[in-house]
Amino acid sequence: MTPEQLRDVVRTVVAAAVGRGALTVEVPDDVVIERPKNRAHGDYATNVALRLAKAAGRPPREIAGLLATDLAAQPGIASVDVAGPGFLNITLAQGALGQIAVRAVTAGATYGRTDVLAGQKLNLEFVSANPTGPVTLGSTRWAAVGDALARLLEASGADVSREYYVNDAGAQIERFGRSLQAVALGRPVPEDGYQGDYVETVAQQVVAEVPGLLEQPEEEQLAVFAERGVGAMVADIRSTLDGFGVHFDTFFSERTLHESGALEKAVATLREQGHVFETEGAVWLRTTDFGDDKDRVLVKADGEPTYFAADCAYYLDKRARGFDRVVILLGADHSGYVGRYKALVAAAGDDPATHLEIQIGQLVNLVRNGEQVRMSKRKGNFVLLTDLVDAVGNDAARYALARASVDQQIDIDADLWSRQTNDNPVFYVQYAHARISSVLRNAADLGLSLGEADGVDVTQLAHERESDLLRAIGEFPRVLTAAAELRAPHRVARYLEELAGTYHRFYDSCRVLPRGDEEATALTTARLWLCAATAQVLRNGLDVLGVTAPERM
């Protein structure tokens, strides 16, 4: 019996008690089934009696007592105890727990997936780093977390489109072009320009692409450097992210918004809604009507649209493309955007609470020799995605970045991460998978296989370590659902570490394969199913994080 099935059973029992007048409460649609930390508290526990106490006007233990009797009579449940303030501690019948292994194996790659977000069309924007330089360590965090979140939402049934907003318009791009031009002409890079080895590389690439470029008038040169430079950077960013295993559905060009007249249209739309005003020669959006700190300029006094105007047009474009919800991952250095973004959504006539979601994540610091390395694109002194991957590999990099809560600033110790030691928990998890793979290979060599699902006797799985493992496997669907709802992919990583540990402890106490002259038994087959189920969950979980599940290590 899975936790979900148990939840339904508990709800049915509550409803029955209400039906015959033993309780007068509304039957809750959601009943919390948890896995007690203390094994003495049964396989599962529910606090439903505590939750209902107030509404029923009766002491929780009394409610628990009457539910316990009914619950214990249900098939698949061995016993029910009332404990503490009114918890119901439930012990499942042996076979009921064992079915979890069969379910995980037969569901395969779909085990853990749900349809709780089915029908939702989401646009998930992340990374969106300026195309004026390579992908930095800071952006790498959002690449890892954003992609994991996308996979997580997909596992919950949502239709997710991964999007990267390319800021290929505006003064920053011109500055980038000027820097490339200066380098190509052998001049010093402007004060506010970009530095770093890549600037030279890109400049040379542009010069090589366009014969006679340096003989052209400087203004024409600049346009070429800006356009080709950005193109080269976008290509570089894209291939870097592809190599990292992060693939976007759309690279959305800001410039297309300028060129298509979408900005003017957006301003006009907002004006129709009655939230645009003009003063001091500029065009403003009255965002303060929607909770922003101050009103925001859409078109500057010099006639140039602001970045914010492009944001407005971009949001409207996403909505026009049919997305129910626009989700944006931003670094803490952009937290100031939230207020104006919510306001623009409201000003456009949408509801910020349903159509917009901005997730702010804290920054990543690099620590070297116990000292924080400051990162600045301008000075050309920064750590790149490729530096991290070169040092620790894709798997460790993705896992390490996805394993921490985005609310938490993380320090990456360069020395620690460049040492490839088992300090990195990803090895612990991957090792469990490799270990299981090895057991299953050895089983195959002995001519042993899982066989059909109806041929395995899961009541054989009665050892405490087997029960622990079955319960852990049974948690997986709920872990995915909760992680998706909370936008917290790191929960998946933490769960996998726990699952790996539970497997290692099982492995240590429970011999799977027959040794020497021993014959395979029904227990052997049941344990093979348990191993296969564990491996499946490890694969499914690692897949959400974009990390490989090696068969050998």
Range 317-336, binding RNA (CB under 7 A): 332-336
The CA distances from residue 150 to 59, 158, 479, 487, in Å, are 44, 9, 15, 9
Output 89 or 467, the one with its CB closest to RNA: 89
Q: Say if residue 482 is exposed, middle or buried (CB neighbours under 10 Å; 0-12, 13-18, 19+).
A: middle
- 168-173's contacts with Cβ under 8 Å and 24+ in sequence apart are 168/131, 168/230, 168/234, 168/253, 168/254, 168/255, 169/254, 169/255, 169/257, 169/258, 169/310, 170/254, 170/307, 172/130, 172/132, 173/131, 173/132, 173/226, 173/230
The DSSP call for residue 294 is: S
Q: Is 201:233 a contact under the CB 8 Å cutoff?
A: no
**Shortest Å distance, C-beta 433 to RNA:** 8
**Shortest Å distance, C-beta 5 to RNA:** 17
Give the β-pairing of 356-361 and 325-331.
Answer: parallel
Output 207 or 328, the one with its CB closest to RNA: 328
Site for RNA in 484-503 (CB under 7 A): 486, 488, 490-491, 494, 497, 501
Site for RNA in 6-35 (CB under 7 A): 34
Which of 478, 529, 539, 540 is the binder for RNA (CB under 7 A)? 478
Sign of CA dihedral 406, 410, 415, 419: negative
**Shortest Å distance, C-beta 517 to RNA:** 12
In 73-211, beta strands by DSSP E: 77-83, 87-92, 121-125, 159-166
Output 207 or 230, the one with its CB closest to RNA: 230
Site for RNA in 169-198 (CB under 7 A): 169-173
Spatial distance between the Cα atoms of 249 and 402, rounded to a whole number of angstroms: 21
**Shortest Å distance, C-beta 212 to RNA:** 30
Does residue 552 touch RNA according to CB under 7 A?
yes
Does residue 50 touch RNA according to CB under 7 A?
yes
User: Which part of the chain contacts RNA (CB under 7 A), choosing from 210-218, 379-387, 422-430, 533-541?
Assistant: 422-430
Phi, psi of 368 (to 5 degrees): -130, 130
Which of 37, 371, 447, 517 is the binder for RNA (CB under 7 A)? 37
Spatial distance between the Cα atoms of 549 and 287, rounded to a whole number of angstroms: 48
Spatial distance between the Cα atoms of 259 and 227, rounded to a whole number of angstroms: 14
The CA distances from residue 260 to 25, 109, 120, in Å, are 59, 43, 29
Does residue 306 touch RNA according to CB under 7 A?
yes
**Shortest Å distance, C-beta 215 to RNA:** 30
Site for RNA in 374-403 (CB under 7 A): 403
Spatial distance between the Cα atoms of 516 and 156, rounded to a whole number of angstroms: 46
Does residue 208 touch RNA according to CB under 7 A?
no
User: Which part of the chain contacts RNA (CB under 7 A), choosing from 142-150, 233-241, 264-272, 506-514?
Assistant: 506-514
Closest Cα to residue 437, out of 309, 289, 549? 549
Does residue 289 touch RNA according to CB under 7 A?
no
Spatial distance between the Cα atoms of 542 and 112, rounded to a whole number of angstroms: 12
In 339-452, beta strands by DSSP E: 356-361, 364-368, 371-373, 410-413
Which of 30, 115, 219, 280 is the binder for RNA (CB under 7 A)? 280
Does residue 139 touch RNA according to CB under 7 A?
no
Which of 204, 243, 291, 300 is the binder for RNA (CB under 7 A)? 300
Does residue 482 touch RNA according to CB under 7 A?
yes
Which of 159, 504, 520, 548 is the binder for RNA (CB under 7 A)? 504
Site for RNA in 402-421 (CB under 7 A): 403-405, 407-411
Q: 346-365 mask for RNA (x: CB under 7 A)?
A: --------------x-xx--
Q: Is 221:181 a contact under the CB 8 Å cutoff?
A: yes
Which of 91, 123, 130, 287 is the binder for RNA (CB under 7 A)? 130
DSSP reduced 3-state for 406: coil
# of chain residues touching RNA (CB under 7 A): 87
Which of 2, 139, 287, 437 is the binder for RNA (CB under 7 A)? 437
Radius of gyration of the chain (CA): 29
**Shortest Å distance, C-beta 93 to RNA:** 19
Helix H or strand E segment including 62: helix 60-72
Amino acid at 40: A
Q: 250-279 mask for RNA (x: CB under 7 A)?
A: -----------------------------x
Site for RNA in 68-127 (CB under 7 A): 83-85, 87, 89
Output 20 or 37, the one with its CB closest to RNA: 37
**Shortest Å distance, C-beta 104 to RNA:** 19
**Shortest Å distance, C-beta 304 to RNA:** 6
